Amino acid sequence: MTGTLSVCIHQKSVCDKDLGEQICINCGEVLEQKMNDERAESSYDSFMENTRTGPATSLTMHNRGLSTIIGKSNHDFVGKPLGYQMKHFMNRMRLWDSRSQVKTTSERNLKSALYEMGKLKEKMDLSDAIIERAAYLYRKAAKARLVRGRTIKSVVGACMYVACRDMDTTRTIIDIADHLQERRKLIAKSYRMLFQNLRLTVSITDPINSIIKFANNLQLPEITKREAIKIFDVLKEKELTAGKKPDAVAATVIYMACIRTNVNLSQSEISRISGISKVTIRNRFNDFRKYVKLV
């Protein structure tokens, strides 16, 4: 009995980029070897444009990372220490190099503002996207000459607040003011200035994010969190939360959920964590209790 030998025509193949080979799926024959790797050398984020032409640029750098810096090493390329005269010359070069980074007052202002944003990012545990958005807003405000006559921290706080709301990150002006050590009224005034002049479109904060945040800070059980969200859904369906401050709604809903789940928590404790006054919580509670059964 003689068999017939079938010949593979290599219709389907797969490319192994790690080995640089193209392999037939049917018979496993290596069709091509030592292929060129056309992937990018570095993988930066999507907002970086020069993924194959050097280090990344960012709006959080006052010079966008495009300038060069003379290092602090006093050795030449072979490792030998520099002489006395050459060392003095290099120190002068470093001095003028640092001065050339910021030539005008606007550049110094931008550098200080971005430095404050970097510190605020570490304190409040914010993402890189939020800092990038805040830096873009500050550059836009500086170009429109809106930062003149205002403190750097107040404008930085306003830009950070706008960026947090754009990225659906729950951060209040009070939180930003406490970490920046700046007056809340100045940050709120700068925020209104940016909103009016830059024509910003800021989304409304979702009270559910505030409910989860306040509940975690109060260390409430999971059943109380779920009950608070259920109460909020009922109030939202009846359109009772429209026009109300989201944090005030969240604080009141948490208080109502504590009553439902028999958790002993006072209005004073909720007020301390949420930053909403006891009078506001009491007024919202009197408005909502008519539509939600607590017992």
Domain span including residue 277: 207-288
Residue matched to tokens 């709301």: 165
Residues 177 and 240 in one domain: no
Q: Token pair for residue 176?
A: 């930003």
pLDDT of residue 294: 80
Residue 210 · residue 241 · CB < 8 Å? no
Predicted confidence (pLDDT) per residue in 221-235, tens digit: 999 999 999 999 999
121 and 173 in a single domain? The answer is yes
Domain count for the chain, please give it: 3
pLDDT reported for residue 177:
92
Contacts with 274 (C-beta within 8 Å, 6 or more apart), sequence order: 210, 214, 247, 250, 251, 254
pLDDT of residue 38: 66
Q: Distance (Å, rounded) from C-alpha 59 to C-alpha 114?
A: 9
By C-alpha distance, which of 79, 243, 113 is closest to 182? 113
What pLDDT sits at residue 176? 92
Are residue 186 and residue 219 in the same domain, yes or no? no
Q: Residue 46 has what pLDDT?
A: 45
Q: For residue 241, give the CATH number of its domain.
A: 1.10.472.10
Q: Which residues of the chain have pLDDT under 70?
A: 1-7, 37-57, 62-68, 101-103
pLDDT of residue 61: 72
